[in-house]
Amino acid sequence: MIRFAADYFDGETSRAHAVEATLDAGELRIRGEAVDLAVPLDRIEVAPPAGHARNVVHLPGARELHSADAAALLELSRLCASARPERWAHLLESRLGFALAALVVSVLIVTAGLRWGVPAVAQLAAHALPAWVDQRIGDEALALMDQFSLSPSTLPAARRETLEQKLADQCRRQACPPYRLLFRDSRLFGANAMALPGGTVVVTDALVGLARHDEEVLAVVAHELGHVRHRHGLRLALQSLGAGAILVAVTGDIGSISDLAAGLPSLLLQSGYSRDMEREADAYALAWLNTACIPPARFAAILERLDDDASETGLLDSHPGTRARIGPFRGPGRCT
């Protein structure tokens, strides 16, 4: 027989009535001063324990029993036909094996979501969002870079105009995504080129200085145009937000999303593209160079030079597998 002392609350006032509860013949009999009632077992719900707080038994009509007799209420909960999700959670949490299994499954789900789920959803969303979203993110990223890490270009105006004109000539002969070519000086980034959401391609003075031929600069820009064409910058931003959403789901910290959104331009500068994105940009660059009748070896040559001169923030730090990537560019090319 189950018997325990408790405080009874009638659901109408905050007054506690000292009672004794006894389970008998499928009913919970509750007796005390001015209290005498019987509640069928199937009308009772025993809340799972919460730390060191007293256990609660929910009765019909918003009435409750509060008791410190955890053993008696645990036995009562096993007899109740309660389907409360919290009860099942407690039963699982109370068994170490189930808890460890749940932890492993949770880690696998989160890992799979970050590795495959978030990128897939980000790719679909990036192609569905309007162009102004890219432009807004790209403008904020460029403003941040101009403030902290970039300086006005020191290249002669004629040199910049020559490269701009050569790129424009090629884009009149073949389809290029909308772009804006900018030159900047930067001690932080060194020899580098970056494609920002919205079509802005930033080329550093050091990269131009490292090139031994204008076609090498155009080859690097073609690769960055591939990132623009496939909206990789926006996809990367959405992936960052998706990772933040998973973090919120796991930790319950809604502030993480706000912090991530505020620092999105910085994330774009610090994060590297995935191997899949690099392959897409490389494929675009190879086709672009063949159409432009520029030897693909120009791209391979400057990448090898960048690899030898790589800095902590260089172009290749966000472009994995350099030697494997330049293989398709070593051939003679096909002028189309």
Are 45 and 147 in a shared domain? Answer: no
Residue 30 has what pLDDT? Answer: 92
Domain annotation covers residue 271: yes
- What CATH number did the domain enclosing 68 receive? 2.30.29.30
pTM listed for this prediction: 0.60
Domain span including residue 34: 3-87
Are 55 and 181 in a shared domain? Answer: no
Residue 257 has what pLDDT? Answer: 41
Are 276 and 222 in a shared domain? Answer: yes
Q: Which of 21-30, 61-70, 82-91, 141-150 has the lowest mean pLDDT?
A: 82-91
Q: Is the pLDDT of residue 31 over 70?
A: yes
Give the model's confidence band at 46: pLDDT under 50 very low, under 70 low, under 90 confident, else very high.
confident
Residue 177 has what pLDDT? Answer: 95
Are 63 and 149 in a shared domain? Answer: no
Query: H or E segment at 36?
Result: strand 35-40
Q: Give me the helices (H) in the chain, please.
A: 70-79, 85-93, 96-112, 118-128, 131-148, 157-173, 205-210, 214-229, 232-251, 255-262, 264-270, 275-291, 297-308, 322-325
Hey, what are 25's tokens?
A: 């013949």
How many domains does the structure of the chain reveal?
A: 2
Are 270 and 170 in a shared domain? Answer: yes
Closest CA relative to residue 142, chosen from 252, 286, 269, 3: 269
Residue 258 has what pLDDT? Answer: 44
Are 60 and 134 in a shared domain? Answer: no
Domain annotation covers residue 176: yes
Closest CA relative to residue 241, chosen from 229, 253, 231, 256: 256
Are 20 and 159 in a shared domain? Answer: no
Are 159 and 20 in a shared domain? Answer: no
In this structure, what is the dihedral angle of CA atoms 164, 170, 173, 174, given to the nearest 10 degrees? Answer: -110
Are 148 and 207 in a shared domain? Answer: yes
Domain annotation covers residue 134: yes
Are 178 and 275 in a shared domain? Answer: yes
User: Which of 17-21, 90-94, 314-318 reaches the highest mean pLDDT?
Assistant: 17-21
Q: Give me the helices (H) in 149-213, please.
A: 157-173, 205-210
Closest CA relative to residue 70, chosen from 4, 1, 19: 4
Domain annotation covers residue 111: no
Provide the 3-class DSSP secondary structure of residue 43. Answer: helix
Domain annotation covers residue 252: yes
Q: Which residues contact 67 (CB under 8 A, 6 or more apart)?
A: 4, 5, 6, 7, 21, 54, 55, 57, 73
Q: Which residues contact 64 (CB under 8 A, 6 or more apart)?
A: 8, 9, 11, 56, 57, 58
Are 169 and 311 in a shared domain? Answer: yes
Domain annotation covers residue 305: yes
Are 52 and 150 in a shared domain? Answer: no
Domain annotation covers residue 263: yes
Domain annotation covers residue 70: yes
